[in-house]
Amino acid sequence: MSRNLSPDRLALRGLVGTLALVLVVLAAMNFNSLPLVGNRGVISVEFAEAGGLKEGDSVLISGAEVGKVRNVAIEVDHVVADLVITDDSIKLGERTEAQIITVTLLGRAAVELESRGSGVLEAGDTIPVDRTSAPYNLTSALNQLTETTAEIDKQQLAAALEQASNSLRAASPDLGPALDGISSLSQAVSSNDEELRSLVARASDVTAVLASRDRQIAALLGAGRSLLAELDRRQQVVISLLAGARELSQQLRVLLEDTDDVLGPALDELDGVVATLNRNRVNLKATITGLLGYATGFNEAVATGPWFDAYIQNLTSPTTLAPILSGVMR
């Protein structure tokens, strides 16, 4: 059949086929950039439950559609939804929150994002389950309620209600005073409403002050911790010092016990010398005073020339030489 086609048609078909082939190659090379199938602009969101969300549902920000749900997968204890953000102008914070909402009366669901945080939520990031919320599906909840109520034993329920009624009837004499006490407590609380509000307001003020001073309190606690650590170190030093003093005391006690025979007589002789010096204190003072005058004159005599004569009175007297000779002969 190609033989019956004109050259122009053959050229047109060749051009179309070439363009299609180029487009396929470009699409294959940029697969991740394609909307709804690629990974560009895709973020993952973890929900505690699906909440009726399915593939193709809308992704909203402030009521405006900015993307689609590409996939919803069930993990071990949560659901992971892949969201494709098709609006490149949207910038989401790193603390972005997500919730599943119902957009139609028939229960059509959508994911609404609320940007939070100063950073940027990049493509491929995941919003964890602690920043997401999912509504209960009313239909499934009603179905579960129907199944649960169907399993209730009516006879046991009636017997339990009858037993509760009998118990209340038997406790009616005591129930009245109890309710009166509760009523009195309620009246007391109501009569002190202004005081309670004032107390709560003051507690709020105290909490605000503490919150505004949290850095100072943290710094104070840190300084207190450092002080306690330093006191603990000083305590160890004092303990070591006391242990050393105790050991020194024991060694001195042993030394005194070993040298008691020597130290005793030595201390007695030292006491005798001190007593002798005290008795001759006046004579020693007079000797030093006289020696001062003699030394002054002797120095003047020595300074007068290259030689000098010196005379010491009573130097050869037996009374003077006796102490010197006795000390030498010993």
> pLDDT tens-digit profile of 247-266?
888 888 887 777 777 777 87
Q: What confidence score (pLDDT) does residue 44 get?
A: 92
Give the pLDDT of residue 39: 46
Measured at the CA of 266, the angle between CA 265 and CA 270, to 5 degrees, comes to 115
pLDDT at 237 over 50: yes
Across the range 80-102, mean pLDDT stands at: 89
Residue 152 confidence (pLDDT) above 90: no
pLDDT digits (tens, 9 = 90+) for 196-216: 788 888 887 888 887 788 788
Say what angle helices 154-170 and 172-191 make with each other, to 10 degrees.
80
Q: Domain-by-domain residue ranges, the chain? A: 36-141, 183-212
SS3 110: strand
pLDDT grade for 70, boundaries at 50, 70 and 90? very high
Whether the pLDDT of residue 318 is over 90: the answer is no
Half-sphere exposure of 148 (CA within 13 A, CB side): 6
Q: Indicate the pLDDT class of residue 60, thresholds 50, 70 and 90.
A: very high
The pair phi, psi for residue 74, each rounded to 5°, is -95, 120
pTM, entire model:
0.35
pLDDT tens digits along 269-295: 888 888 888 888 777 777 777 776 767
Q: Is a pLDDT exceeding 60 seen at residue 112?
A: yes
Antiparallel, parallel or unpaired: β 109-114 and 97-102: antiparallel
Helices (H) and strands (E) in the chain, counts: 9, 8
Residue located via tokens 């909203």: 60
B/e letters for 119-143, b = 16+ CB within 10 Å, e = fewer, are: eebeeeeebebebbebeebeeeeee
